[in-house]
Amino acid sequence: MKTTIGISDPLLREARMLAEREDVTLRALVERGLNRAISTKHAALFKLRRAEFKGKGLQAEFGAASWETLRDEIYRGRGG
C-alpha cells in the first residue's frame, strides 16, 4: 500500500544518511521504525515495585536455614 506522509527536512536527511550507512532503502528503515514503535506499544512493560519491609532481618532460628527450610516454614499450614 502506498501512502504519503510529511517528514521534516532535517529528519528526512538523517534518515536517508542512516539508510545509506546501513545499506537499506528508506522504505525499509521507515518500516523497521514503525514495527519497533508498534511492538513497543504492545509489549507489557514490567516494573517491579519496591517491596521493602522494616525489620531486623531473619529471625535467629532461620539465620543459617536453607531455602527449602524457609519455604516450608512460609507455606506451613497453607496446604502447600
The alpha carbons of the chain give a radius of gyration, in whole angstroms, of 27
Q: What is the mean pLDDT of residues 31-40?
A: 88
Q: CB neighbours (10 Å) of residue 26?
A: 14
**pLDDT surpasses 60 at 80:** no
pTM given for the model? 0.49
Domain locations along the chain: 9-42
CA separation for the pair 11, 7 (Å, rounded) = 7
For the chain, the average pLDDT equals 87
pLDDT grade, residue 42 (50/70/90)? low
